Amino acid sequence: MNDHITAKNYVINKNYEMALVCYKKILKPNNQQYKELGHIYEKLNMYNKAIECYLKIKNDINMLNQIAVCYINLLKYNDAIIYFTKCNSINQNSIYYYNIGTCYIKLKNYILAEQYLVNAWKLDSSNNIINGQLGNVYHILKKYDKAIFFYKKINNKEDDLIALNLSIMSLSYMAKKDFKIGFALYENRLKINNNERLDIPLLKYWDGICECNNLLIVNEQGLGDNIMYYRFIIQLSLVYPNMKITYLCHKINNILIPYNNITIVGNIDNSNISNYNYKLYIMSLPNILSLNIITPNKENYIKIDNNKLVEWKDKLKIFKKLKVGFVCNGFLNSAIEKNIPSSEFESLCDLDIDLICLHRKCDILETNNNINYFDIDEKPFEDTIHILKNIDLLITVDTSIAHLAGVMNIKTMLLLGFVSDWRWFDDNKAFWYESVEIIRMKENIELKNILKIVRDRLNFQLNFHITKTKI
């Protein structure tokens, strides 16, 4: 008994290691002590040990639920589903349906996730968390009107949660090409704290109405976003030809061509902040410009280094077949799959092409003798730009390079999984760039299976090229 009291005192003081020592001295723990011991194991992230304790306790729905939670922490979602289902069979509850649905989201089985979340919603239609998760699932399934319906049912009281929900809902509006509403709602992202967004508190935010002679536009989000949205800075410069526009853009400032009244910088001196009237984050430009339609980009604003161009032309002149570059992975982003093992591209090697990997060789785990690898500069896109200028086709799962190639009018196959970003909508129309062909998975299976479609497209293009040459 003294060991138990001592252990509980250690728990109160959050000294879980010493509490564990005391519990192990108890020869025959009772159910309550097993619960406490399991809780300690959870605090120590020893989830398998916690499960062992909870399994010793019979006829306790709370312990079944806790076992499921442990399996979630172990990323064993199928096991978690088993125990949440046991809980639900004892006491049908919206939270169990919700948890099962969320596990199916983790397993990327969105159809089953939808079914369980709908069951949860029927039991508790006013639950903000359930409505939000249903909105997320319907957005993933590209059922955007349904997604918006459930996002609108969320009734938050806190300002930051309201802003978060509106900014998430904006993606569904933009995905269904309702840009006027979507871009306006997306401005709510600015009300949410974001450590990745450079804060310049001394400058007020420009509303697009107040007189502004000197504007600072600041980059945000990924490299691809800033390449993609630079077109809107050019558009703004045409609308306001007398305004001085400075684009603060880290990492890719050296690859963009300054236009009209635009200056591009990689960093900024705080002492010069007073020179600017207002600031603007780049993702706000479509809203400032009141865009309600998007047309394919016509302006190539990527800078070319002639020396680099000649260098890569010399390196690649050894290839006499159709030169096909590929990018097999990008940044993983939530449910969006952006990875195909480089070894899977071997399935294209027997075609009449020269296959060129656009990753740095040191970043590829496995190499293949039929795939060509080069030492590529670490600076973002410095070598990639000039390789792209010397190949016939790019195949990529990474959207940032798709934006780069699209601006440069390089023929590109963009490979999208079943889940994709709003920017690529739900069809295969080349919306942003005429040179980019979208190939997407219509089934919720591994992205590597898309290479079968790529192979067929390449075969067609090769046969068309041969026929055209003969004619």
Regarding whether 52 and 138 lie in a shared domain, the answer is yes
As beta bridge partners, residue 413 has 395, 437
**How far, in Å, CA of 273 to CA of 281, rounded?**
15
Mean pLDDT of the chain: 90
10 Å Cβ neighbour count for 31? Answer: 14
Q: What is the CATH number of the domain that holds 424?
A: 3.40.50.2000
In a domain? residue 208: no
Regarding whether 270 and 315 lie in a shared domain, the answer is no
Give percent of the chain above pLDDT 90.
71
| Residue 264 near residue 249, CB atoms below 8 Å | yes
Q: How far apart are the first and last CA of the chain?
A: 94
Statement: residue 471 has pLDDT above 50: no
Regarding whether 328 and 428 lie in a shared domain, the answer is yes
The CA-based angle 167-433-438, given to 5 degrees, is 80
As beta bridge partners, residue 357 has 326
Regarding whether 39 and 164 lie in a shared domain, the answer is no
**How far, in Å, CA of 424 to CA of 416, rounded?**
9
Statement: residue 109 has pLDDT above 60: yes
Which 8-state DSSP code applies to residue 189?
G
| Residue 245 near residue 215, CB atoms below 8 Å | yes
In a domain? residue 296: no
Regarding whether 466 and 323 lie in a shared domain, the answer is yes
In a domain? residue 201: no
Domain containing 119 equals 2-150
Regarding whether 120 and 24 lie in a shared domain, the answer is yes
At 15 the three-state DSSP class reads: coil
Using a cut of 0.85, tell me whether the model's pTM lies above it: yes
In a domain? residue 361: yes
Regarding whether 460 and 314 lie in a shared domain, the answer is yes
**How far, in Å, CA of 186 to CA of 165, rounded?**
10
Q: How many domains does the chain divide into?
A: 4
Statement: residue 162 has pLDDT above 70: yes
Q: pLDDT band at 210, cuts 50/70/90?
A: very high
Regarding whether 85 and 132 lie in a shared domain, the answer is yes
Q: What is the mean pLDDT of residues 195-203?
A: 86
Regarding whether 316 and 465 lie in a shared domain, the answer is yes
Regarding whether 320 and 358 lie in a shared domain, the answer is yes
Which DSSP string do the residues of 104-142 spell out, in sequence order?
Answer: HHHTT-HHHHHHHHHHHHHH-TT-HHHHHHHHHHHHHTT
Per-residue confidence (pLDDT) for residue 467, from 0 to 100: 43
